[in-house]
């Protein structure tokens, strides 16, 4: 199974996100992440879906999504060729200053940001292509992650 990024241009109608997620549920496709946002055109919404699938399934997903009445365009995005970002926020537990220093090294290695330093935790941010975000999270897993969230991918 691979991760595929689909970028959808859809009509900004009531329930459009439900329609798309319902299609995924009904056909048994796995959504890894989904993000929706308005565009410069108030009638249009951009949705980026990351799907876990194989080549055969992704072809089916592509066709099924394209068939929806409110979907105007579907493009398969390659994270290396398109502009595509995901934001991750992590709050990491720290016992001592050594840990904080190690965390800050990892963060600067990935060109992330330290958002907040508390006596017992460090909160960090990374905005990058999804695979780098994956590596970032893996690298930080050696510490005790207290909380974490990712926005899902958005792509142009």
Partner 1 sequence: MMKTGAEIIVEVLIEQGVDVVFGYPGGTVINIYDALFQNQNRIRHILTAHEQGASHAADGYARATGKTGVVIATSGPGATNIVTGIATAYMDSIPMVAITGNVTTDAMGRDSFQEVYIAGVTLPITKHNFLVKRIEDLADTLRDAFRIAQSGRPGPVLVDIPKDLTIASYEFENKEVIKPQRDVPVKEEDIKHLAELINKSARPVIYFGGGVISSKASNKLSELINTCSIPACHTLMATGVLSYGDRLNLGMVGMHGHVSSSKAINEADLLIAIGTRFSDRVATNKEKFALNAIKVQIDIDDTEIDKNVRTNFSILGDVKDVIEKLMKYVVPSERKEWIQTIDKWREEIDYHPVDDENTIKPFKLVEAISELSGEDAIIVTDVGQHQMWTAQYCKRTKPRSFLTSGGLGTMGFSYGASIGAKIAYPDRRVIHITGDGSFHMNMNELCTSVTYELPIITIIMNNQVLGMVRQWQELFFEKRYAYTTLDRKTDYIKLAEAFGGKGYKATTIAEFKKAFEQALQNKNCPSVIECVIDRDEKVLPMIPPGGSFDDIIVD
Judged by CB under 8 A, the residue of 14, 40, 96, 98 near partner 1 is 14
Using CB under 8 A as the binding rule, whether residue 76 contacts partner 1 is answered as: no
The overall longest dimension of the chain from CA atoms, in Å, is 56
Question: C-beta of 32: minimal distance to partner 1 in Å?
Answer: 21
Nearer to partner 1, 69 or 72 (CB): 69
Phi, psi of 63 (to 5 degrees): -65, -45
Q: Using the rule CB under 8 A, is 64 a contact of partner 1?
A: yes
Please, which residues have CB within 8 angstroms of residue 63's CB and are 6 or more apart in sequence? none
Evaluate whether 3 touches 51 at the Cβ level (below 8 Å): yes
Rounded CA Rg of the chain: 18
Nearer to partner 1, 40 or 56 (CB): 56
| Min CB(45)–partner 1 separation in Å | 17
For residues 5 and 71, which CB has a smaller minimum distance to partner 1 in the complex?
71
């Amino acid at each position: 199974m691979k991760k595929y990024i689909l970028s959808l241009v859809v009509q900004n109608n009531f329930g459009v996100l439900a329609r798309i997620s319902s299609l995924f549920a009904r056909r048994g496709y796995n959504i890894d992440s989904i993000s929706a946002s308005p565009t410069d055109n108030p009638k249009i919404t951009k949705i980026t879906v990351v799907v876990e699938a194989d080549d055969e399934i992704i072809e089916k997903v592509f066709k099924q999504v394209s068939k929806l009445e409110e979907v105007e365009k579907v493009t398969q995005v390659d994270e290396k060729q398109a502009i595509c970002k995901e934001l991750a926020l992590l709050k990491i537990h720290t016992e001592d200053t050594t840990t904080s220093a190690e965390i800050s090294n990892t963060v600067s290695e990935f060109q992330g940001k330290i958002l907040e330093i508390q006596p017992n935790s460090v909160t960090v941010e990374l905005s990058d292509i999804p695979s780098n975000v994956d590596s970032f999270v893996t690298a930080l897993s050696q510490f005790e992650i207290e909380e974490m969230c990712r926005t899902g991918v958005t792509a142009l």
